[in-house]
Amino acid sequence: MLQKEYFKMNDLTLIEAIRALREKKFSSVEITKAYLDRIKKINPKINAYLTVCEDEALKAAERADKLRDLPLLGVPFSMKDIYSTEGIRTTAGSKVLDKYIPPYNATVYQKLIDAGAVLLGKTNCDAWGHGASTENSDFGVVKNPWNLEYVAGGSSGGSAAALASDMTIFEIGEDTGGSIRLPSSFCSTFGLKVTYGRVSRYGAIAYASSLDSMGPMGKSVEDLSLILSVIAGKDERDATSSYNKVPDYAAGLKKSIKNLKIGLPREFYGSGLDGEVKDKIEKAVNVLEGQGAEIVDVSIPSTEYGIATYYIIAPSETSSNLARYDGIRFGNGREVFGDEAKRRIMLGTYALSSGYYDEYYLKAQKVRTLVRKDFEKAFTKCDVILAPVSPTPPFKIGEKINDPLSMYLVDVYTVLVNLAGIPSLALPCGFSKTGLPIGMQIIGPQFSESLILNAGYQYEKATNWRKEKPKL
């Protein structure tokens, strides 16, 4: 095939690619080769992939071309490098696991390959998920495809950058405090943080076990709905996964959002919000109002405690989770841990230590309950909440890396969702004057993924942000 035709294949959404494969406009081998060629050309500029599974992908594509009637049959995809993939290197972005080859598959990965999807490779991330910029990756920062001097967000920065630069059709990320939504916002892609327990965590390398949420990232809301239908559901190997029935997430996308009540939390639109971000969200509000939605004022009073609460609970859990990496059973020794991992281990160990547990960790858990109740109260006045993802557009590489507090504040609008265990959809809503992406998030009550996907789909169809592409 000609390179021009390759690019047309790279440009397709998941839904478009599935349709074209079923109509035999090209084979799985052909589209897989197109993506592998794109990775070889673009990845050296972006650093989105840590491992590319060329031989394995082509063999899987050959098998897919002989099969029929699977939901994702023959579609190439990639995964954040925190998922265990049997026989394929898995690093979590850390040199502690530089040469680790898992002997089993994560449930999410197994469900995807059972559905016929073809793994292209594993994408770059902040080591152990610790970061908002991928500058904490032990394998180098991911560069933003829209401007290579800027970060792609984190910790799933490689995931969003691979999508934005058409090096994959869809991604599976992971969100502990905004790690799907922030890079989606920074790279003008779509990402869904699901209700805690909606998708199995089995086989995913843990950051903070009570906050980690597995979720899809893609090129459209419709793509996310299909992926979620495949990966959601109860898993007997994950006691925290939910028994709630998995609906057909695509079924309700085209419903009208007339009379949908959208809440704007006043605490999210204060002095810390960049003017350009606020302007783009106000314009998004106008679009949604034009579609019949009703805008209401709501309040999340515990917003001011979100970052402090998160940065007690998450480091406490990560200090426990990282204790297993001692270099004895697998991986390298603890001397290989990066500075951010060491910082969070020390913070967490201190918060859990004798004499400080009640003062810090227990108090943080009580505030977490208040956060959840604040959202529950807000949802008595509205159906969904519309909010910024980040207080600013993407920032330059190196701008915040030596100022941990400034970096932590990037997650000020996202961590609350994880503390409450509720779902949130990130989607593009415009660009800054300098051409950098700006995103927003639609937040819903527990297990309201269908509702927020519906609202996001209607906004997406009323705008053209998805069609914008970086010039690489």
pLDDT of residue 6: 59
Residue 27 bears catalytic tag: no
The residue-averaged pLDDT of 103-127 equals: 98
223, part of any domain: yes
294, part of any domain: yes
φ/ψ of 98, rounded to 5, equals -50, -40
List pLDDT tens digits, range 276-327. 999 999 999 999 999 999 999 999 999 999 999 999 999 999 999 999 999 9
Annotated catalytic residue, options 179, 200, 229, 316: 179
List pLDDT tens digits, range 338-389. 999 999 999 999 999 988 899 999 999 999 999 999 999 999 999 999 999 9
344/226 Cα distance (integer angstroms): 36
109, part of any domain: yes
List pLDDT tens digits, range 175-190. 999 999 999 999 999 9
- Going 135 to 410 to 341 to 198, the CA torsion angle's sign is negative
φ/ψ of 12, rounded to 5, equals -75, 145
Please state the domain count of the chain. Answer: 1
pLDDT above 70 covers what percent of the chain? 99
Beta bridge partners of 427: 440
306, part of any domain: yes
H or E element, residue 190: strand 190-193
List pLDDT tens digits, range 450-461. 999 999 999 999
472, part of any domain: no
List pLDDT tens digits, range 211-241. 999 999 999 999 999 999 999 999 999 999 9
Residue 80 bears catalytic tag: yes
CATH value at residue 8: 3.90.1300.10
User: Which is nearest to 331 in space by CA: 38, 152, 98?
Assistant: 98
284, part of any domain: yes
Domain that holds residue 342: 3-467
Residue 406 bears catalytic tag: no
Annotated catalytic residue, options 80, 111, 122, 219: 80
- Going 346 to 350 to 354 to 358, the CA torsion angle's sign is negative
Helix axis angle for 306-321 and 339-352, nearest 10°, is: 100
Contact between 250 and 46 (Cβ < 8 Å)? no
Annotated catalytic residue, options 28, 94, 155, 424: 155
